[in-house]
């Protein structure tokens, strides 16, 4: 029987120009649209007045969220300068009715002072008390996942929506190779390399459950949406 696949961390930031541009140019529309449609179904009343897209990358989820909810204000934050630069370039191509509701900011998830300043600035600027948080494909990048959950607890407001979507690490090398053959056959070399590394850096469902217990967030639900993805969702208490 094949041995279990142990986690292998990858660089926390995707800040190389070639890497960032390849990621921004890649077509993740199917997976991203599927995620946002699922979120809309889970929260038919909406996700509140303001959303923070944690680890926004080039802005895929930020843009989709702003389109999905026409009154939603979206703040995309990321620790990689190259990603924020690309997100701002893409923002200029959007209709004004969407772009005027999206802002991007460089943010270090490990810096609690920065996070608290951001939350205070958003609350003051928009006179909004409800701040929801979405995170897509960020968790597996972090060497210490508690930085991720702590940032969510600092940014979100009680009663607000939390959605975390991420890759799920295959249980063993056989499943890993099977998923690579199924998902990465047509990927550009740089994207395939990143995808392979990300799968190995991802967490299992049991590991995510333990993270939520440690963060006092174990009241949130965990859903395995496919062989590839797991999602955590609920409202902050």
pLDDT tens over the chain, length 237 residues: 567 899 999 887 666 666 666 666 666 788 999 999 999 999 999 999 999 999 999 999 999 999 999 999 999 999 999 999 999 999 999 999 999 999 999 999 889 999 999 998 888 887 777 999 999 999 999 999 999 999 999 999 999 999 999 999 999 999 999 999 998 888 888 889 899 999 999 999 999 999 999 999 999 999 999 999 999 999 999
CA dihedral 190→8→231→214, nearest 10 degrees, is: -150
Residues 6 or more apart whose Cβ sits within 8 Å of residue 13: 79, 80, 141
Helix (H, G, I), strand (E, B) or coil at 65: helix
Asked whether residue 110 is domain-assigned, the answer is yes
Helix (H, G, I), strand (E, B) or coil at 43: coil
Asked whether residue 215 is domain-assigned, the answer is yes
Please give the residue range of the domain that contains residue 225: 17-169+204-235
What's the pLDDT score for residue 110? 87
Asked whether residue 85 is domain-assigned, the answer is yes
What's the pLDDT score for residue 127? 72
Q: What is the pTM of this model?
A: 0.92
Backbone Cα Rg of the chain: 17
**How many distinct structural domains can be found in the chain?**
1
Residue with tokens 């943010």: 107
Residue with tokens 């963060």: 215
């Amino acid at each position: 029987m094949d041995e279990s696949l142990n986690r292998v961390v990858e660089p926390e930031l995707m800040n190389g120009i070639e890497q960032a541009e390849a990621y921004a140019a890649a077509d993740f529309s199917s997976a991203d649209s599927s995620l946002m449609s699922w979120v809309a179904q889970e929260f038919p009343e909406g996700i509140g007045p303001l959303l923070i897209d944690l680890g926004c990358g080039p802005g895929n989820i930020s843009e989709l969220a702003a389109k999905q909810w026409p009154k939603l204000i979206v703040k995309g934050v990321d620790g990689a300068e190259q990603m924020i630069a690309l997100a701002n370039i893409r923002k200029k191509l959007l209709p004004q009715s969407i772009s005027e509701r999206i802002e991007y900011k460089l943010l270090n998830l490990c810096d609690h002072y920065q996070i608290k300043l951001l939350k205070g600035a958003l609350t003051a600027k928009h006179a909004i008390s409800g701040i929801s948080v979405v995170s897509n494909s960020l968790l597996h990048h972090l060497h210490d996942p508690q930085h991720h959950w702590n940032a969510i607890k600092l940014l979100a407001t009680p009663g607000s929506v939390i959605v975390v979507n991420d890759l799920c690490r295959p249980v063993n090398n056989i499943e890993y190779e099977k998923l690579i053959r199924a998902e990465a056959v047509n990927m550009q070399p740089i994207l395939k390399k990143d995808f392979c590394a990300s799968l190995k850096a991802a967490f299992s469902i049991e590991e995510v459950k333990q993270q939520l217990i440690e963060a006092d967030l174990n009241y949130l639900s965990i859903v395995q949406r496919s062989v590839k993805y797991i999602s955590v969702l609920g409202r902050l208490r």
